Structure 1
Amino acid sequence: MRYVLASGSPRRKELLSKLIKEFEIIPAVGDESTTKVRPFEVVEELSFKKASEIFHKIFTEDGAKPVVIGADTVVSYNYKILGKPKDREDARKMISSMQGNEHTVYTGVTVFYQKDGKVEHFTFSEETIVYVTSMTDEEIAAYLETGEADDKAGAYGVQGQFGKFINGIRGDYFNVVGLPIARLYREMKKRSLL
C-alpha cells in the first residue's frame, strides 16, 4: 500500500513513522478557513480539507489511489482557540494566560482511501488536557527567547524546552505533539489499511 502524509510537520512525520515504515509527504496548501467554532469540529474539518485536497490531487496511471492522512491540531484555553502566535507579544500573552492553568489540545485526523474502486474516508478527533505549572515573567521571557514558540499552536511545543513547565497530561501525549498514533493505529487496522 502507498501512503501519503498531507502535512509538512516534522513532528507528524516522526510520529507517523512509528506506524508506517514508508510514506510520502505532500503538504496540503489549500484554504485553512473554517465555519466551525467548537475546537474538535474545527480540527476535524481542517484535517478533512487537507486529506481531501491531496487525495484528489494525486493522479495515478493505474487508478489506484494511495491512503492519504491529514491532521490538524489546535490548543484551546477558556473555550478560545489559540493558533500560532502573530508575534512574540502574542506568544507572551498566550503563555501568560495558560501558565498555572490547564488547557486542552485537540487533533483532528482524516484518512482518505480507495476500497473496491470507491473513495472512502473517516475522520476523528482526540482531546488531551495539559496542565502548565506557574511561571514567572522571567521564565516566560526566557522561553520566548528560544524562538520555539514562534510557529507552534498555543505558542509552545510539549516535546521541546517548554516540557519543563508541563506538570501533567491527561490523555494521549502524542496527540499534543500533533498525531494521536494509538487511535490512528486502531482506526486504520479496523479498516485493514495497515
Structure 2
Amino acid sequence: MPESFVDTALKEKMTKDELLSLLKREARNLHMKDIMLATAFFQEDAQFMPKGYRDDYIKTFSKAFFTRIKDIKEDENHYPGSVNLEKLRGFFKLLDEQKAGAKGDRELCFLRIASLVATYTTFIREESIHPIGTKFPGGFTLRFHDGEYLCPVKDRQEKNPSALCRFCVSVQDEDAV
C-alpha cells in the first residue's frame, strides 16, 4: 500500500474526479494528531518571523488546514476534465524531495497535509495554494480580482526550486512589484 496519495502510481490519464477520490481517501486517513503535529511544525517554523506577521501566518494556515481537509472530505462536486499529469508528476516529484529532507514527524505531518491541500486547490479546484488574504512581507496580501488570484511574490518564488509556486494558478500581482 502506498505511504500516501503522492506515492500512488499515476495512470496514463486521470480525471479530476479520480484524483479527488484519492485525496478523499487520504483525508479520511488523517487524524487529529497529524493536524496537531503539522500545526506545531509551522508554529516552530514561524518562530523568527515578526510577531504580527507570525501570528497571522499561524492563524491563517491553521484555519486553512482544518477547513480544506473538511472541504476535501465533504466535496461531492463533479469536476470535469482531466488532470495535467506532466504537471502533477513534477508536483509530486517536488513533494517527494521535500519529504526526503524532512527533519522529523512534525515536518512530515505538515508536508503530508500541505501536499493534500495543495493538490486539491491546484489540480481539482484550480485555486491559489495560499488562501486569499494571506499576508506576505512588505504588507502585501494574496487577493482575488477579476477572476484571477493575484500573488505579490509569484515571480520571485517561481525561481525557488523548492517552492510549489510554479504549480500554483495565481499570477503575479503587478501592484506589488
Q: Could you say whether these structures have the same fold, taking a TM-score greater than 0.5 normalized by the shorter chain as the test?
A: no
TM-score by length of 2: 0.25
Q: Which has the larger radius of gyration?
A: 1
- Structure number with the higher strand fraction is 1
- Structure number with the higher helix fraction is 2
TM-score by length of 1: 0.23
